[in-house]
Amino acid sequence: MIGVSTLLIRVAAATMLSTSAFAADMPQPPPQIAYQPIVVEQPEGAWYLRGDIGIGITNSYDITWLPSPPDATIPFAFDQHSMADTVFFDVGAGYEWNSWLRFDVTVGYRDRTQVNARGIYNTTTDVGDSYQGYLKSWIVLVNAYVDFGTWNCVTPFLGVGIGGANNQMADLVDMGIGTTGAGFGRNSSNWSPAYAFYAGLDFNVTTNAVLELSYRYLNYGSVTDTIDCLNGCSADSYKFSNLSSNDFMLGFRWRFPVESGTMMVGQQFMQPAPVYAPPPPAYPPPAPMPQPPLSTRG
């Protein structure tokens, strides 16, 4: 016969087991989206100073005669003109936005380069004028560069620049060919739009020092000067336009030292939903009841 206390224990155990099974069958809440902070190293941008020296190989340019009203009907045309190569110096300051994009502003001086031209009035008699002067320029450019990765301390890049040029035609002289006419320029100067395209290689000498070899196509506009003639002739003007050059440059950049900073970034991940775990039983399960021995028949 089962005792009352044993019966109560069995009823309590059965109730707890049924409660646990019911809780396991209940729908569980969905997984939750959570964020955990991670630290990412972010190198700060670097300011730098730069200096360049180079040789400018002058391209062909255009020259236009702008006659004064008394000379407007005179037939005249240039049959030849040339410009010598020059040397130039640039200085500037810039900022490396990140590992592949940087910007700078440069100011450059292009040294005096000789300009020669000849114009004729009459192709039969070869009467005309010869011209000789010197062009010098100041170039201001805002530049942007794209770096294409570094291999063994070498970084190829491309760039573009836009700005202005202050061009001056200095000591322009007009000498008559077959005549006694002569005149002198006014050393005129003017500002003109300028633009440039770059291609080159950077060599990382140290963390802060960079040696640069580059090519630049530079178009630096035009300049107009007026000749004041002797012997009573009219004052005519001459426009030297489409001034451009193939520049080969050796440069040096100095980066100011910077330290890498840190940034906290939230990383998304799925947080599993809590699973119900039933509490441990308050009472130990009952011991199995002893079974009576089976009777045997004689």
pLDDT single digits (tens) 201-244: 999 999 899 999 999 999 999 999 999 988 767 789 999 999 99
Q: Give the tens place of pLDDT for each residue, 166-197.
A: 999 999 999 888 777 788 999 999 999 999 99
pLDDT winner (highest mean) among 28-32, 72-76, 106-110:
106-110
Judged against a pLDDT cut of 60, whether residue 285 lies above it is answered with: yes
Percent of the chain with pLDDT over 70: 71
% residues pLDDT > 90 (the chain)? 54
Give the chain's mean pLDDT.
Answer: 83
What pLDDT, on a 0 to 100 scale, did the predictor assign at position 227? Answer: 92
Please report the DSSP string for 27-71 in residue order.
PPPPPEEEEEEEEEEEEPPEEEEEEEEEEEEEPP-EEEEE--GGG
User: The whole model's pTM is what?
Assistant: 0.71
Domain positions in the chain: 46-260
- Helices within the chain (DSSP H only): 4-25
**Strand 182-185 versus strand 189-204 pairing type:** unpaired
Pairing of strands 223-229, 182-185: antiparallel
Question: Which of 184, 193, 188, 183 has its CA nearest to residue 169?
Answer: 188
What CATH number should be reported for the domain whose range is 46-260? 2.40.160.20
The pLDDT of residue 14: 53
Would you state the pLDDT for residue 121?
A: 82
Residue 283's pLDDT is 67
| Average pLDDT score over residue span 48-74 | 92
pLDDT at position 154 is: 94
Under a CB-based contact definition with an 8 Å cutoff, are residues 83 and 131 in contact? no
Task: Report pLDDT digits (tens) over 103-152.
Answer: 999 999 999 999 999 998 876 777 888 999 999 999 999 999 999 988 99
Per-residue pLDDT, 143? 98
Residues 134, 118 contacting (CB under 8 angstroms): no
Range with lowest mean pLDDT among 18-27, 91-100, 259-268: 18-27
